[in-house]
Amino acid sequence: MMNWDVFLAPYQQAVDEIKIKLRGVRKQYNMSSTSHTPIEFVTGRIKPISSILDKAHRKNIPLDELETRMQDLAGVRVMCQFVEDIDAVVKLIRRRKDFEIIEERDYITNEKRSGYRAYHLVIKYPVQTIGGEKKILVEIQVKTLAMNFWATIEHSLLYKYSGEIPEDIIDRLQNAAEAAFRLDEEMSQIRGEVLEAQVIFRKKEEEQRSH
């Protein structure tokens, strides 16, 4: 039988480390005060055991191949204020030397049929365990707040209907997807103004602090 606690421990560790690393990026941007941080906030989670079992069953993955064949056991989400920030975050992830990128999927240029939008990266992250180094797959999703908002809703519904959402609800979901998309569009419109405002804001605060 599978000892889930022991199996999932390095995944949890990887998530904890990556969270602290990407939050550090945010802090560095805020400190520099000359440029806007592309990272609004970072969350992370281990896939719940019930979802692992469901997905393994659905995709026909034997439990002893989870490690190599289920790429989202460990997941990190990076939320951005503007669609334009997503690209900056991806570049920043590509420049790092503490893990290797295995795969990238751009669901922003190529929106999923359901309306799902986000940029996904799968990385191979080295965790130092008490039994030696172990390389772990971690999925990083980069999204705007509006994209994320919509995605959590879709996820709940997919779950409820075991993947088969009824037509009328799909319609409503698509309306919500459009509303989320429009919010992102409007935000991009006023982006330049806001960025300037934030830099001014941060500088004032800094001056204050040094008095």
91 binds a second copy (CB under 8 A): no
| Closest approach of a second copy to the CB of residue 73, in Å | 15
100 binds a second copy (CB under 8 A): no
| Closest approach of a second copy to the CB of residue 28, in Å | 5
**Active-site residue, 104 included:** no
Asked whether 180 and 150 are in contact (CB, 8 A), the reply is: yes
Please choose, from the candidates 111, 44, 83, the residue with its C-alpha nearest in 3D space to the C-alpha of residue 191: 83
103 binds a second copy (CB under 8 A): no
Residue 140: CA atoms inside 13 Å, Cβ hemisphere, count?
Answer: 32
Contact stretch for a second copy (CB under 8 A) within 18-26, 57-65, 68-76, 109-117: 18-26
Interacting residue with a second copy among 44, 48, 61, 78 (CB under 8 A) = 48
Please choose, from the candidates 100, 90, 108, 106, the residue with its C-alpha nearest in 3D space to the C-alpha of residue 138: 100
Please choose, from the candidates 108, 131, 99, the residue with its C-alpha nearest in 3D space to the C-alpha of residue 10: 131
Q: Which residue in the list 84, 139, 154, 186 is annotated as catalytic?
A: 139
Residue 164, classed as helix, strand or coil, is coil
Output phi, psi for 82, to 5 deg: -125, 150
**Interatomic CA distance for residues 121 and 99, integer angstroms:** 12
58 binds a second copy (CB under 8 A): no
> DSSP of 87-151, one letter per residue?
HHHHHHHHH-SSSEEEEEEETTTT--TTS---EEEEEEEEEEETTEEEEEEEEEEEEEHHHHHHH
- Number of residues binding to a second copy, judged by CB under 8 A: 69
128 binds a second copy (CB under 8 A): yes
| Closest approach of a second copy to the CB of residue 13, in Å | 4
163 binds a second copy (CB under 8 A): no
Q: How far is CA 152 from CA 98, 105, 197, in A?
A: 29, 19, 30
Q: By CB under 8 A, what part of segment 62-81 binds a second copy?
A: 81
Interface with a second copy by CB under 8 A: which residues? 5-6, 9, 13, 16-17, 20-21, 24-25, 27-29, 31-32, 48-50, 53, 81, 92, 95-98, 126-130, 132-133, 145-146, 149, 152-153, 156-157, 159-161, 169, 172-173, 175-176, 178-180, 182-183, 185-187, 189-190, 193-194, 196-198, 200-201, 204-205, 207-209
Residues serving a catalytic function are 139
